[in-house]
Amino acid sequence: METFDEQVYISFSGGKDSTVLSSLVCSLKPDILHLFSDTGCEYPETLSFVEEERQRGKNIVPVRPVCRDGSVWTFERVVATYGYPLFSKAIANGIRTYRHAKTPVTKQHALDYLGRMYPKALSYLDYNISDLCCEKLKKAPLKRMAKRMQTQCSIIGTLAEESRVRKRDWIAYGSNIFFQKKDNQCRPLSFWTERDIWDYIELYKIPISDLYGQGYQRNGCMFCGFGLCAERRKFGINRFERLSLTHPKEYDYMVSRWASLFKACGIPY
Ligand code: SF4
Which pLDDT does position 229 carry in this prediction?
Answer: 86
Which pLDDT does position 234 carry in this prediction?
Answer: 87
Domains defined along the chain, listed by start: 1-82+132-214 (3.40.50.620), 86-130 (no CATH), 227-269 (no CATH)
For residue 263, name the pLDDT band (cuts at 50, 70, 90).
Answer: very high
Q: Mean of the pLDDT values across residues 242-257?
A: 98
Pocket of ligand 1 (CB under 6 A): 39, 85, 133-134, 137-138, 220-221, 224, 226
Which pLDDT does position 217 carry in this prediction?
Answer: 87
Handedness of CA 228, 165, 104, 139 (dihedral sign): positive
Which pLDDT does position 69 carry in this prediction?
Answer: 85
Query: Is the pLDDT reported for residue 70 higher than 90?
Result: no
Going through 107-261 in order, the beta strands assigned E by DSSP cover 153-155, 176-177, 184-186, 225-226
Distance CA 141, CA 157 (A): 19
For residue 68, name the pLDDT band (cuts at 50, 70, 90).
Answer: confident
Nearest to 165 by CA among 110, 89, 269: 89
pLDDT in tens, 96-146: 999 999 999 999 999 999 999 999 999 999 999 999 999 999 999 999 999
Burial class for 182, CB neighbours closer than 10 Å (0-12, 13-18, 19+): exposed
CB 8 within 8 A of CB 34: no
For residue 61, give the 3-state DSSP assignment: strand
Ligand 1, atom 2, residue with closest C-alpha:
224
Three-point CA angle 11, 190, 34, nearest 5°: 15
pLDDT in tens, 181-234: 999 999 999 999 999 999 999 999 999 999 999 989 889 999 999 999 888 888
Distance CA 177, CA 49 (A): 30
pLDDT in tens, 30-49: 999 999 999 999 999 999 99
Which pLDDT does position 107 carry in this prediction?
Answer: 96
CA 221 to centroid of ligand 1, rounded, Å:
6
Q: Which residues contact 210 (CB under 8 A, 6 or more apart)?
A: 45, 48, 49
